[in-house]
């Protein structure tokens, strides 16, 4: 078993697609490696190791010249494939001079990077977050830098019992903590389903539904290993058949989350909130995003404190509750992904 | 500044012949980890009769044992002793492996790829082709070998590439028509080449003559292959006036360092140019085996890279210090 808490053979979000602009570079540390990402003239995103082959100065400190990166120290030039195509003061170019280039793909408003064996970087493996750019849906989100291991963020999303305590007053109420849930798993995924029948809606959902009376509320949490969680959420007027598939008397949203390990104690947390009603209402989109920012800010404070506590209590371990079933399945799936790659002798890293 | 490279202790698990003169060796890791990627090589530590030495071999991906480290070693005779040592290992023997950087990493940003391999240059290509095919890229490969018996991994490559694999046997059809090959390359194709220096130089020359973009042609240097058989020779060092004998199995750099001359060097494969010497006098030609000097510099006979290049016998005079570095125009 390796010491890494994350697998490498997976697509991770490196940036929102609008963050990667033509003519400038974005530097991020992904899976403990400094990476620089930018766009070629034709718009295709590129990701390279952010360290010049020569003396390791970050390439992101240099500048772009067409599709190529010029190191800001001695002017070595790299093409998008990572090969050095210019060296100062010599007639030839050392054929070994190159930096690693990584497979990247732009999908669902994100730029994804594959840090592991490039031969396995199949685009079909990009997690499904299609609600982000599906014409029947609308929404928006941001990236938060969290000072916590990515698994802690996944834990947080796989068990929404915490809503009752962390987010009381917005989306949490006693019903969440007390409602039963079920867990299923297959392949690299796991799903937690929780229905709350005939409950008083929490304030946020009451205002979204805009109808009086009790509701049937659902939270269907779909984990796609190693770190993408799409949560199907909503409420419908109680007794109108939502649990049986008729959501016509309700409102539906998706909380989309993909967490990218930066280091063992830092993560880039990309999230968005999407809905399939009043989709032309831009103000509502902004309200959803800002409300979620506030709610996730509460999570962030907990997660940062949790990581700090882990670091300050090296002699202590986690104990588990019944409510952790979903999170434990997610963790087991992540472990299995890591185990699969460590069985191969040729892990590229 | 040297960074810390990962190392591992490995045990030879099985060995077999991949083709005439090519030994396929599979190692299991006992302790430590080394990472590799398609096109990368690993460095093996060994004890030769002149002392400790290291040799690098490209990692092979023949699809058979992904949990083991597989290399293919061509017996070089005469060589500097590394391949003979690798051939002498028996299953159960242990060896230390050091992780190396990948000087020919695969980029997946193209639609079309052409791979040209000659002889033992096939080894890194096995992994590159497997990686490209498994990610759905179109790959055409021209594989040159002396004869059918000398071609390793044919069945594996054939199943990966189908009609995309073109075998070329020198014994049957003479040397490859490099100009026809290069002029037929579609624009935007990424080309990887690895093989004997003669083949690589011919392809590079044809590439440059057509004005094709340099970064579309990627190659790996095999430092020990020259255009001529290695001869012993003598050099007199201008600064010290001393004459040093260089054996056929020894590099000029080794002989100079052993005789107490201080020479700056780094890559040991003719790439970085730090060991360049000035030739003030020579009674034979130079077998330039480096990729650092320009064709013009090589033709002038005024300098050579001591780590790989050598004189074709006879006696020469060289200057180590105060020589000119930088572009020659």
Q: Residue A2: pLDDT band by 50, 70, 90 thresholds? A: low
Give the count of domains, chain A. Answer: 2
Residue A298 pLDDT more than 90? yes
Q: Is the pTM of this model over 0.90?
A: no
Name the residue among B67, B107, B267 with its Cβ closest to that of A345.
B67
Q: Residue A1: pLDDT band by 50, 70, 90 thresholds? A: very low
Give the C-alpha separation, A33 to A51, whole Å. Answer: 10
* List of chain A residues whose C-beta atoms are within 8 Å of the C-beta of residue B103: 95-96, 98
Q: In what order do the strands lie in the sheet with B315-319?
A: B243-246, B233-237, B315-319, B276-282, B303-305
Q: How far is the alpha carbon of A114 from chain B, nearest alpha carbon, in Å?
A: 11
Q: Evaluate whether residue A3 is within a structural domain.
A: no
Q: Residue A348: pLDDT band by 50, 70, 90 thresholds? A: very low
* List of chain B residues whose C-beta atoms are within 8 Å of the C-beta of residue A2: 33
Question: Which value, to the nearest 10 degrees, does the dihedral of the CA atoms of residues A273, A276, A280, A281 take?
Answer: -60
CB-CB contact of B230 with B153 (8 Å): no
Instruction: Return the SS3 of A322.
Output: helix
Give the residue among A288, A304, A303 at the shortest CA–CA distance from A170.
A288
CB-CB contact of A44 with A22 (8 Å): no
The reply to whether B73 and B163 lie within a common domain is: no
**Closest chain B residue to A1 measured between Cα atoms?**
B33
The reply to whether B18 and B94 lie within a common domain is: yes
Higher per-residue pLDDT: B285 or B78: B285
The verdict on ipTM greater than 0.95 is: no
pLDDT digits (tens, 9 = 90+) for A28-70: 999 999 999 999 999 999 999 999 999 999 999 999 999 999 9
Higher per-residue pLDDT: A214 or A91: A214
Q: Evaluate whether residue B104 is within a structural domain.
A: no
Percent above pLDDT 90 for chain B: 69
CB-CB contact of B189 with B114 (8 Å): yes
Give the C-alpha separation, B126 to B62, whole Å. Answer: 6
Domain edge (last residue) among A124, A152, A186: A124
Domain at A323, CATH number: 3.90.380.10
Tokens of A3: 């010491």
Rounded to 5°, the CA angle A302-A195-A185 comes to: 75
Cis status of the peptide bond prior to B78, with omega within 30 of 0: yes
Asked if A91's CB is within 8 angstroms of B135's CB, the reply is: no
Give the C-alpha separation, A83 to A77, whole Å. Answer: 8
Q: Residue B304: pLDDT band by 50, 70, 90 thresholds? A: very high
Domain edge (last residue) among A78, A103, A124: A124
The reply to whether A118 and A163 lie within a common domain is: no
Give the residue among B201, B217, B10, B205 at the shortest CA–CA distance from B98.
B10
Asked if B105's CB is within 8 angstroms of A98's CB, the reply is: yes
CA atoms within 13 A on the CB side of A176: 23
Identify from B124, B135, B298 which residue to disrupt to test chain A contact, counting A C-beta atoms within 10 A and taking the largest count: B135
Q: Evaluate whether residue B324 is within a structural domain.
A: no
The reply to whether A86 and A152 lie within a common domain is: no
pLDDT digits (tens, 9 = 90+) for A305-320: 999 999 999 999 999 8
Give the C-alpha separation, B13 to B62, whole Å. Answer: 16
Identify from B215, B218, B274 which residue to disrupt to test chain A contact, counting A C-beta atoms within 10 A and taking the largest count: B215
For residue B4, what is the DSSP state?
A: P
* List of chain B residues whose C-beta atoms are within 8 Å of the C-beta of residue A121: 108, 135
B272 at interface of A, judged by CB pairs closer than 8 A: yes
Asked if A343's CB is within 8 angstroms of B37's CB, the reply is: no
Asked if A119's CB is within 8 angstroms of B35's CB, the reply is: no
pLDDT digits (tens, 9 = 90+) for A249-280: 999 999 999 999 999 999 999 999 999 999 99
Q: Which of residues 73-102 of B touch A (CB under 8 A)?
A: 101-102
pLDDT digits (tens, 9 = 90+) for B165-199: 999 999 998 888 999 999 999 999 999 999 988 89
Domain edge (last residue) among B99, B132, B165: B99
Residue B225 pLDDT more than 70? no
Tokens of A250: 């309700």
Exposed, middle or buried: residue B59 (CB in 10 Å: 0-12, 13-18, 19+)? buried
The reply to whether B145 and B193 lie within a common domain is: yes
Give the C-alpha separation, A214 to A200, whole Å. Answer: 5
**Closest chain A residue to B66 measured between Cα atoms?**
A344
Q: How far is the alpha carbon of A67 from chain B, nearest alpha carbon, in Å?
A: 12
Q: Evaluate whether residue B50 is within a structural domain.
A: yes
Asked if A81's CB is within 8 angstroms of B29's CB, the reply is: no
Give the residue among B122, A116, B16 at the shortest CA–CA distance from B130.
B122
For residue A319, what is the DSSP state?
A: -
The reply to whether B19 and B93 lie within a common domain is: yes
The reply to whether B90 and B174 lie within a common domain is: no
Q: Residue B222: pLDDT band by 50, 70, 90 thresholds? A: low
**What is the residue range of B237's domain?**
233-319
**Closest chain B residue to A122 measured between Cα atoms?**
B135
* List of chain A residues whose C-beta atoms are within 8 Å of the C-beta of residue B66: 344-346
Give the count of domains, chain B. Answer: 3
Query: Comparing A136-145, A181-190, B223-232, which segment has the lowest mean pLDDT?
Result: B223-232
Domain at B82, CATH number: 2.40.30.10
Adjacent-strand bridge partners of B23: B17, B73
Q: How many CB pairs under 8 A join A and B?
A: 113
Alpha-carbon distances, residue A192 vs A183, A231, A251, B25, B127 (angstroms): 5, 9, 20, 48, 41
The reply to whether A246 and A190 lie within a common domain is: yes
Q: How far is the alpha carbon of B104 from chain A, nearest alpha carbon, in Å?
A: 7
pLDDT digits (tens, 9 = 90+) for B68-122: 999 999 998 777 789 999 999 999 999 999 998 787 888 877 889 999 999 999 9
Q: Evaluate whether residue A5 is within a structural domain.
A: no
Residue A343 pLDDT more than 70? no
Mean of per-residue pLDDT scores for chain A: 93
The reply to whether A60 and A151 lie within a common domain is: no
**How would DSSP label each residue in B50-91?**
TEEEEEEEEBP--SS-TTSEEEEEEPPSSSSSHHHHHHH--T
Give the C-alpha separation, A173 to A167, whole Å. Answer: 8
Q: Evaluate whether residue B123 is within a structural domain.
A: yes
The reply to whether A63 and A190 lie within a common domain is: no
Q: How far is the alpha carbon of B103 from chain A, nearest alpha carbon, in Å?
A: 4
Q: Evaluate whether residue A223 is within a structural domain.
A: yes
Asked if B271's CB is within 8 angstroms of A96's CB, the reply is: yes
* List of chain A residues whose C-beta atoms are within 8 Å of the C-beta of residue B105: 82, 98, 100-101
Domain at A55, CATH number: 2.102.10.10
The reply to whether B38 and B95 lie within a common domain is: yes
The reply to whether A142 and A250 lie within a common domain is: yes
Residue B267 pLDDT more than 60? yes
The reply to whether A113 and A44 lie within a common domain is: yes
Asked if A92's CB is within 8 angstroms of B132's CB, the reply is: no
Asked if A120's CB is within 8 angstroms of B292's CB, the reply is: no
Give the C-alpha separation, B35 to B100, whole Å. Answer: 9
Domain at B298, CATH number: 3.10.20.30
Domain edge (last residue) among B168, B191, B219: B219
Asked if A89's CB is within 8 angstroms of B326's CB, the reply is: yes
The reply to whether A83 and A174 lie within a common domain is: no
Across A71-188, the runs of DSSP E, i.e. the strands, are 77-78, 84-86, 101-102, 104-107, 110-114, 138-146, 181-186
Asked if A122's CB is within 8 angstroms of B135's CB, the reply is: yes
pLDDT digits (tens, 9 = 90+) for B35-74: 888 888 999 999 988 788 889 999 999 989 888 999 999 9
The reply to whether A109 and A146 lie within a common domain is: no
Q: Evaluate whether residue B23 is within a structural domain.
A: yes
Question: Which value, to the nearest 10 degrees, does the dihedral of the CA atoms of residues A276, A282, A283, A287 take?
Answer: 50
The reply to whether A184 and A110 lie within a common domain is: no
Q: Evaluate whether residue A4 is within a structural domain.
A: no
Q: Which of residues 29-68 of B touch A (CB under 8 A)?
A: 29, 33, 35-38, 40, 59, 61, 66-68
Crossing angle for the helix pair A325-343 and A150-158, nearest 10 degrees? Answer: 140
Q: How far is the alpha carbon of B308 from chain A, nearest alpha carbon, in Å?
A: 15
**What is the residue range of A238's domain?**
137-343
Q: Evaluate whether residue A131 is within a structural domain.
A: no
Q: Evaluate whether residue B36 is within a structural domain.
A: yes
Domain edge (last residue) among A78, A101, A124: A124
Asked if A348's CB is within 8 angstroms of B294's CB, the reply is: no
B106 at interface of A, judged by CB pairs closer than 8 A: yes
Domain edge (last residue) among B54, B75, B99: B99
Give the C-alpha separation, B125 to B40, whole Å. Answer: 10
Higher per-residue pLDDT: A286 or A323: A286
The reply to whether A59 and A110 lie within a common domain is: yes
Question: What was the pLDDT predicted at A120?
Answer: 85
The reply to whether B244 and B297 lie within a common domain is: yes
The reply to whether A210 and A259 lie within a common domain is: yes
Q: Evaluate whether residue A198 is within a structural domain.
A: yes
B274 at interface of A, judged by CB pairs closer than 8 A: no
The reply to whether B130 and B203 lie within a common domain is: yes
CB-CB contact of B39 with B220 (8 Å): yes
The reply to whether B122 and B92 lie within a common domain is: no
Asked if A46's CB is within 8 angstroms of B37's CB, the reply is: no
Q: Which of residues 118-147 of B touch A (CB under 8 A)?
A: 130-132, 134-136
Give the C-alpha separation, B153 to B229, whole Å. Answer: 27
Asked if A92's CB is within 8 angstroms of B291's CB, the reply is: yes
């Amino acid at each position: 078993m390796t010491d890494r808490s994350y697998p490498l053979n997976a697509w991770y979000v490196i940036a929102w697609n609008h963050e990667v602009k033509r003519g400038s570079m974005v530097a991020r540390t992904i899976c403990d490696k400094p990476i620089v990402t930018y766009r070629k003239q034709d718009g295709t995103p590129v990701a390279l190791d952010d360290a010049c082959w020569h003396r390791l100065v970050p390439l992101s400190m240099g500048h772009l010249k067409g599709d190529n990166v010029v190191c800001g120290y001695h002017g070595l030039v790299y093409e998008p494939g990572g090969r050095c195509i210019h060296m100062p003061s010599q007639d030839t170019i050392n054929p070994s001079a190159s930096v690693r280039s990584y497979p990247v793909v732009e999908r669902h408003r994100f730029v994804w990077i594959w840090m592991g064996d490039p031969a396995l970087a199949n685009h079909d493996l990009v997690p499904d977050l299609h609600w982000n750019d599906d014409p029947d849906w609308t929404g928006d989100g941001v990236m938060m830098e969290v000072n916590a291991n990515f698994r802690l963020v996944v834990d947080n999303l796989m068990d929404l019992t915490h809503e009752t305590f962390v987010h009381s007053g917005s989306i949490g109420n006693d019903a969440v903590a007390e409602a039963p849930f079920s867990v299923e798993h297959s392949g690299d995924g796991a799903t937690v389903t929780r229905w709350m029948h005939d409950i008083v809606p929490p304030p946020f959902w009451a205002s979204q539904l805009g109808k009086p009376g009790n509701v049937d509320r659902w939270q269907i949490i779909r984990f796609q290993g190693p770190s993408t969680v799409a949560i199907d959420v909503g409420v419908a007027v109680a007794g109108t058949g939502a649990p049986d598939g008729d959501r016509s008397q309700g409102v539906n949203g998706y909380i989309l989350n993909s967490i990218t390990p930066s280091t063992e104690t830092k993560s880039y947390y990309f999230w968005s909130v999407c809905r399939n009603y009043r989709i032309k209402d831009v103000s509502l989109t902004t309200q959803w995003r800002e409300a979620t920012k506030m709610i996730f800010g509460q999570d962030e404070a907990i997660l940062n404190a949790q990581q700090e506590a882990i670091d300050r209590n090296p002699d202590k371990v986690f104990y588990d509750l019944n409510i952790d079933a979903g999170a434990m399945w997610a963790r087991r799936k992540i472990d299995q992904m890591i185990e699969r790659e460590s069985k191969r002798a040729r892990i590229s890293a | 500044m040297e960074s810390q490279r990962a190392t591992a202790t490995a045990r030879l698990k099985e060995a077999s012949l991949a083709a005439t003169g090519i030994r396929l060796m599979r190692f299991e890791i006992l302790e430590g980890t080394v990472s590799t990627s398609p096109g990368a090589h690993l460095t093996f530590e060994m004890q030769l009769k002149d002392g400790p030495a290291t040799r690098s071999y490209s990692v092979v991906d023949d699809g058979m044992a992904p949990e083991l480290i597989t290399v293919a070693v061509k017996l070089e005779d005469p060589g500097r002793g590394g391949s003979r040592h690798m051939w002498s290992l028996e299953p159960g023997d242990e060896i230390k492996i050091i992780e190396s950087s990948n000087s020919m990493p695969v980029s997946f940003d193209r639609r079309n790829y052409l791979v040209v391999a000659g002889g033992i240059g096939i080894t890194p290509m096995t992994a590159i082709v497997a990686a490209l095919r498994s990610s759905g890229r179109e790959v055409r490969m021209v594989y040159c070998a002396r004869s059918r018996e000398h071609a390793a991994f044919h069945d594996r490559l054939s199943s990966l590439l189908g009609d995309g694999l073109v075998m070329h046997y020198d014994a049957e059809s003479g040397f490859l028509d490099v100009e026809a090959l290069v002029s037929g390359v579609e624009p935007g194709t990424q080309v990887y080449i690895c093989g004997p220096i003669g083949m690589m130089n011919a392809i590079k020359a044809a590439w440059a003559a057509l004005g094709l973009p340099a970064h579309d042609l990627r190659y790996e240097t095999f430092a020990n292959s020259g255009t001529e058989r290695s001869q012993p020779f003598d050099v007199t060092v201008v600064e010290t006036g001393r004459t040093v004998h260089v054996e056929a199995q020894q590099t000029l750099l080794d002989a100079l360092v052993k005789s107490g001359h201080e020479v700056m060097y780094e890559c040991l494969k003719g790439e970085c140019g730090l060991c360049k010497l000035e030739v003030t006098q020579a009674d034979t030609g130079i077998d330039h085996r480096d990729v650092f000097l320009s064709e013009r510099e090589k033709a002038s006979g005024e300098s050579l890279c001591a780590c790989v290049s050598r004189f074709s016998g006879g006696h020469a005079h060289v200057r180590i210090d105060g020589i000119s570095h930088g572009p020659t125009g």
